[in-house]
Chains A and B, each alone.
Chain A
Amino acid sequence: MAKASAPKSSSKKSTSTRKKTSAPRKKAVATSSSRVPKLPAFKRYKANKAELLELYEQMLLIRRFEEKAGQLYGLGLIGGFCHLYIGQEAVAVGLQSALDEDKDSVITGYRDHGHMLAYGIDPKAIMAELTGRAAGISKGKGGSMHMFSVEHKFYGGHGIVGAQVSLGTGLGFAHKYREDGGVCMAYFGDGAANQGQVYESFNMAELWKLPMVFVIENNQYAMGTSVNRSSAEDQLYRRGESFRIPGIQVNGMDLLEVRGAAEMALKWVRSGKGPILMELKTYRYRGHSMSDPAKYRSREEVQSMREKSDAIEQAKNELIKMGMGEDELKAADKKIRKIVSEAADFAESSPEPDAPELYTDVLVETY
């Protein structure tokens, strides 16, 4: 309601200025961002050693899990379309570690393995979904792109680019309606940011002051198209301005930077100020999906991102600086590898769904 009355008062002001001075109207002309609320500054998150180790392990789990998924794909055990999260780990881990697991919901697109792992969802059930087995989290019926967990308030996993942004807006509405104090975090890509329904959603979310964190994972490419070849406004954090949604751009290759920004964003949204838009600058090291001739970027570009900006390496170095020993890091690595190889074994050995499963879950009743 506060928002609805705001334009009235400001238009009154501008008419009165017009009456007083007819010629130079320059002052009355607003800059495009002047009506967007100003966000407070945020600080890089200060993690203690135990905390950082935990986040580091989460990122490492995603990295190793995805490497293994890539291998299983190569062996023909995973088929169809499979999009790896390698390179972007700090985004899901940094953001999701700031959420309140009991209250907040998350929704994302098809590059979803990392978000699920960051939630602590069982890697076995995820890997078995990739291989299309009955023990998969969607009983083998969804595949890599379509995974869900009610328990974790993880609403998927969606293959249609941009669709999840509107669904997320509905989740945000439901949080507000129920007054449950929860926030919906809706992730989407730089490419998805050009879908019309994203802007329909922005408008509604701000109009209704929904508790939403819109997250653009800007990994700089949508398949083979770079952001500046597809986007008139390539500073994607500004994409909410005409809806008065404040935005921030965050270095998505720095785990603690991401976490710090998330803390600020969540505080803002929880205080009832309406949605916020976060643009996380990140990078995917692998191809768009498993078949990608990668003609749109140079090998050097990828190499240089890996060498200079890798979030996992950076977190590791910080741990070392905090006094973490080689053997402790090695132990962490070993632990993760074990989890991943167990997940892979499970996913390879568990059975496919029974054929009658084709007919279940279409409507409430089986027919």
Chain B
Amino acid sequence: MARMNMIQAINSALDNMMERDDNVVMMGEDIGYFGGVFRATAGLQEKYGKTRVFDTPISECGIIGAAVGMGAYGLRPVPEIQFADYIYPGIDQLISEAARLRYRSAGEFIAPMTVRSPFGGGIFGGQTHSQSPESMFTHVSGIKTVIPSTPYDAKGLLIASIEDNDPVIFFEPKRIYNGPFDGYYDKPVQPWSKHDAGEVPDDYYRIELGKANIVREGADLTVLAYGTMVHVALGVIKEHGIDAEVIDLRTLVPLDIETIEKSIEKTGRCLIVHEATRTSGFGAELSALVQERCFYHLEAPIERVTGFDTPYPHSLEWAYFPGPVRIGEALDKIMKD
């Protein structure tokens, strides 16, 4: 056991998998020699050599396309896309190839690849370093979407993703790499070393995809969140003294709908929080599912707190970010109804 931040936990997962399986290879822009812009792959090229951990040109379409081919031949590539905002040049390869190879070859060929990519805002990155494009991938059948919210989960989920025989998009909420950011941007963030979920085994372990985590049990209301917003929601709930149940989805596809259903049957209220823009965001899917499955248990309309339907701004980031104020207002509203 060691105390790790999320970067170290990811590094540890990659290290374990490189050690256990020769088929695991890693590639990306500045990930080898330099160890990645966020240092997630630091030290791995030295340890496993340049044929297994290597730098690529700035060619996202080529990187992801090559990973599909590597996977089809039996390797387990783990490409890094430096920021989720740069995944779009490779989206054709992800959607048209990776996600559909199994189906159209009737299971003969698969694409067991895990695309790692830091995503989300709160770092003053403007429109090209802040986006949350997860619902573009959840909309595509044949691909899994995983988003951890703690170092412990990041490691277990990443290992399960790499071992998974389907393509996985593994979005890392970069705002919480160092600590569980609660939305108060003007206060220092408590580091992961002071948090229970910063306790991470050095050895291999898995967290199964498709299992949500109830991070706080409660009776009055169910909050559905993932990534950074889990911590922002927890902070607001504490402040408002509401006995809410907070569910960290962990994986959007496959989704643990049973856990969600059970919780809402108990609480009768549902708040959904995500950073991504609202229209066609994953919250819309969640809201529809809850309505379909829990309608007769609901005591108030489902609420969503999300990013606004605009590009991520350069200035006014904290007016844009769905932080404590907006979540608090939604909580008050939903409890009054």
Interface residues of A (CB under 8 A from B): 79-81, 110, 132-133, 138, 140-143, 145-146, 159-162, 191-192, 194-197, 222-225, 229-231, 295-296, 352-353, 355, 357-359, 362
Contact = CB atoms under 8 A, between A and B. Distances in A.
Task: Identify whether the interface residues of A are mostly helix, strand, loop, or mixed.
Answer: loop
A196 B314 contact: no
A363 B88 CA distance: 21
B275 to A, nearest CB: 15
30 contacts: A80-B123, A80-B129, A80-B314, A81-B126, A81-B128, A140-B316, A141-B313, A141-B315, A142-B126, A143-B126, A143-B315, A145-B128, A160-B128, A191-B57, A194-B59, A196-B89, A222-B57, A225-B55, A225-B57, A229-B55, A230-B56, A230-B58, A231-B57, A295-B34, A296-B34, A353-B316, A355-B316, A358-B308, A358-B319, A362-B310
Interface residues of B, number: 33
A138 B313 CA distance: 11
Interface string B299-337: 000000000111101111001100000000000000000
Interface in B13-70: 29-30, 33-34, 37, 55-59, 61-62
Contact of A159 (B30, B89, B124, B128): B128
Given A132-B315, A295-B34, A355-B316, A195 B58 contact: yes
Contacts, number: 105
Nearest to B82: A223
Given A224-B33, A296-B33, A353 B58 contact: no
B89 A362 contact: no
Contacts of B313: 141, 358
A196 B59 contact: yes
Contacts of B88: 160
B125 A81 contact: yes
Interface string B212-255: 00000000000000000000000000000000000000000000
Given A194-B58, A358-B310, A145 B126 contact: yes
Contact of B126 (A159, A160, A362): A159
Given A194-B57, A225-B55, A231-B57, A159 B127 contact: yes
B205 interface: no
B316 A357 contact: yes
B86 interface: yes
Nearest to A359: B310
Contacts of A223: 29-30, 34, 37
B86 to A, nearest CB: 7
A352 B58 contact: no
Contacts of A231: 57
B34 A197 contact: no
Contacts of A195: 58-59, 61, 89
Contacts of A295: 34
A79 B124 contact: yes
Contacts of A296: 33-34
Contacts of B316: 132, 140, 352-353, 355, 357-358
B314 A230 contact: no
Contacts of B125: 80-81
A355 B309 CA distance: 14
A358 B315 CA distance: 9
Q: Top 6 A-B pairs ranked by shortest CB distance?
A: A132-B315, A143-B314, A159-B128, A194-B57, A140-B315, A79-B124
A149 B88 CA distance: 26
A359 to B, nearest CB: 6
Nearest to B130: A80
Given A159-B128, A224-B34, A225-B29, A230 B308 contact: no
Contacts of B89: 160, 162, 195-197
Nearest to B310: A362
A146 B309 contact: no
B58 to A, nearest CB: 5
B57 A132 contact: no
B311 A362 contact: yes
Contacts of A138: 314
Nearest to B30: A224
Given A132-B314, A140-B314, 11 more contacts: A81-B128, A138-B314, A142-B314, A145-B128, A146-B127, A192-B58, A222-B57, A223-B29, A225-B29, A230-B58, A352-B316
A83 to B, nearest CB: 12
Given A80-B125, A362-B309, A191 B58 contact: yes
Given A230-B58, A358-B310, A225 B315 contact: no
A231 B62 CA distance: 14
Contacts of B58: 161-162, 191-192, 194-195, 222, 230
